Amino acid sequence: MRILLRFIILPIAVLLLLVAGTIWFVGEGVTGVDHARGEVAAEPIPAEAVRERAARQEAAGAGDQILFGDLHVHTTYSTDAFAFSLPIFQGEGVHPPADACDFARFCAQLDFFSLNDHAAGILPWQWAETREAVRECNAVAGNETNPDLVSFLGWEWTQMSPGDVADPERKIDHFGHKNVIFRETADDRVPTRPIGAALPIEEGTAPGRLTVDAGLTLVSVLDMPGNVRPYLDFNRYMHGVIDTPNCPKGVPVRDLPADCTELAATPAELFSKLDDWGFPSLVIPHGTAWGIHAPVGGELGIQLAPGMHDPARQRLFEVYSGHGNSEQWRDLQDVVTDAEGQKTCAAPTADYEPCCHRAGEIIRARCGEAPGDVCQARVDQARQAFVDSPAGRGFMVVGGSKPEAWGECGQLAGTFLPAYQYRPGMSAQYGLAVRPEGSEGAFRYGLIGSSDNHKARPGPGYKEVGRKVFGDAYGFRQDWKDLVEGDPLAEPEEAFTPDALPDAPLNRFDPGSERSGSYYYTSGLVAVHAEGRDRDSIWNALEARNVYGTSGPRILLWFDHLGAEDDVTPMGSEVEAAEAPRFRVRAVGSFRQKPGCPAFVSDRLTPARLDRLCMNECYHPSDVRHEIERIEVVRIRPQQAPDEPMADLIEDPWKTFVCEPSGDGCSATFEDADWSPDREHVYYVRALQVPTDAVNGDPMRCTRDAAGRCLEARGCPASGRDFVPSDDCLAPVQERAWSSPIFVTGTGTSTATAMVSEN
């Protein structure tokens, strides 16, 4: 009876509902409503509360002003954010731009933030609403020279490619995601349209109205009658995205119509269009090592090809966000390619297991009494099927596998809150070191953190609570999963054999996607050393790279080059030295937090808004600071030839300073006695606090052997039968701050290196 219900009666019933509902959606779907920008709270933060921020820094011995912000925030004007707000994803409903303003000001109490919705999905009326929302947020911030919050306008250029560098049929063309930020906000000082990336969709395969209507009908049927409205609203929005034509190519940006979708397929096209507009802007790569969209073999070096890098705009790099840490390079290998271009699964090492190898081990555990050679053939088949699968679909080749079965494969295990399915060639360290043949210039970026939050919540990492609210872990609602997947307890994992390889069962959810829920965190921050609180002071610090990133806590950090006669040059600077460089670093820990919110917040937000936006938990510092446990120095010597191995050039850590326990912070002075004036050297520092609990602090919550290998995984699911809404999956980590690098060249630097340093 179960089989009859699941495979015959249920599909027929769903089909009939789908046909009837699609007809209704086509006619009625457009009656959904557009969601306006919302209303910001009219009263700013009390002036004395803003003054207290500066006073606390002065008490810590700060010689300058450090401001904290978030330059990567999405509202439900982003297609993915709107989709994930729907009931089927356990969504909490729409969050328009005004929510971001109020959250930044009252919940997180930031000094600045920006809006960065995905450009390709921003409708013309939404871009107008976004511009107005940013101006309204600035208007209620008080005096322009000393506002409580500075709001910047921007968008995200979202490019990705499934191309594989090991694929002889296709050269990799993945450039990744970049946030575009503008200095000004007036309509005549910003582009008329956001500029999106052309996604790798073949001509004629993009979804049309009927496809969208049918899909939304199917999912809304599950929620009738109470939850239909959100799907109607999303359907209306998707009609707008589909119906908005792409802008014609080859037309100057100022001559294009206002109501078209403008696209740039490569960074070179993006920079060219920004040049045409001529407005001050920054372009910030982010989420680079995140394997959900970066392909195996992706690497930043291709972005140093002629025209692909703009050193005047790409001056910052988001090293950490709620989507993980993209800092470190490691020599990780997933596939190997022979002379004929055939790809096979790479062997595991002591600290890294490719997921293609893990696929074989899952099958090995199912061999039962099969002869050894038969079992090994199945193992080899599974590994190769994973390698040959389309990008992102490898986990589906092993039918019935659960997320925990994959252990820590594909992960930069044992490091601080890593990006999921780590891509080391897209890391910050790799980008600072790489100089490929034929490259034009070099990456010289400052390091920042931000959130990449998709619920209009800038900087939610002030407290490690509410991982599904303050973070981006999403998952299908359980009744939807049950309808599609059936009862997994009735069909145990052991019942599945490798006979179905390489085709995945269509009625199974991707365990790789479910597994990614364990790799979403709360938020990072960007900190600037600024002369004032005003817009120009913040912008000048960003452009000068006098900035650093944190993993969320408001750690104070200074890193300077010490020249002759007390000449002090701050982080982010380029220095020409005649002798061994000397540096000093100082770090002061962040404040421990008190529960709840300051009184002035509840005076300005209604109880309902305080609960929905802030979860009744705000940035609420005590008078006690966390201690800094140690300071680490990373030294990178960029390539002078493309064949120089990275392992010889990236020294992490190069030096370590253990700190005495003190709430007053930690400092150190050091020099590089091995420095050579014949090549460029890059130095940056990390300041690590004493361990505290963090959301998904141990992503797979492994039981380990004496060597640290993961014997049994227990992830942190965002949905499913093992999902516990009250479990924030806390585990101790060392929250940290990353300085921007200092770039040092010698007076005797070679011509090739000197040419690079001019950029």
CATH of the domain at 636: 2.60.40.10
d(CA 493, CA 491): 7
Q: Is residue 209 part of a domain?
A: no
* Amino acid found at 520: Y
Q: DSSP letter at 474?
A: -
Q: For residue 751, what pLDDT is reported?
A: 35
Count: domains in the chain:
2
d(CA 581, CA 562): 7
- Tell whether 506 and 632 lie within a shared domain: no
The stretches in the chain having pLDDT less than 50 are 1-20, 22-25, 29, 164-170, 201-205, 487-507, 750-759
Q: For residue 401, what pLDDT is reported?
A: 83
- Tell whether 512 and 560 lie within a shared domain: no
- Tell whether 365 and 504 lie within a shared domain: yes
Q: Is residue 362 part of a domain?
A: yes
- Tell whether 682 and 738 lie within a shared domain: yes
Q: Which of 470, 498, 519 is the last residue of a domain?
A: 519
162 exposure class (CB count in 10 Å sphere: 0-12, 13-18, 19+): middle
Q: For residue 209, what pLDDT is reported?
A: 61
- Tell whether 634 and 757 lie within a shared domain: yes
Q: Is residue 11 part of a domain?
A: no
Q: For residue 138, what pLDDT is reported?
A: 98
Q: Is residue 265 part of a domain?
A: no
- Tell whether 662 and 586 lie within a shared domain: yes
Take residue 665 and report the two structure tokens written for it.
Answer: 């912070």
C-alpha 574, offset from chain centre = 28
Pairing state of beta strands 568-570 and 650-658? unpaired
Q: Which of 496, 519, 542 is the last residue of a domain?
A: 519
737 exposure class (CB count in 10 Å sphere: 0-12, 13-18, 19+): buried
d(CA 514, CA 607): 34
Q: Write the secondary structure of 242-298 as one string of H (helix), E (strand) and C (coil).
A: HHCCECCCCCCHHHCCCCCEEEECCHHHHHHHHHHHCCCEEEEEECCCCCCCCCCCC
Q: For residue 223, what pLDDT is reported?
A: 65
- Tell whether 738 and 660 lie within a shared domain: yes
Q: Is residue 322 part of a domain?
A: no
Q: Is residue 560 part of a domain?
A: yes
Q: For residue 165, what pLDDT is reported?
A: 43
Q: Is residue 387 part of a domain?
A: yes
- Give the range of the structural domain holding residue 637, as residue numbers without chain letter: 555-590+626-691+734-759
- Tell whether 640 and 758 lie within a shared domain: yes
Q: Is residue 170 part of a domain?
A: no
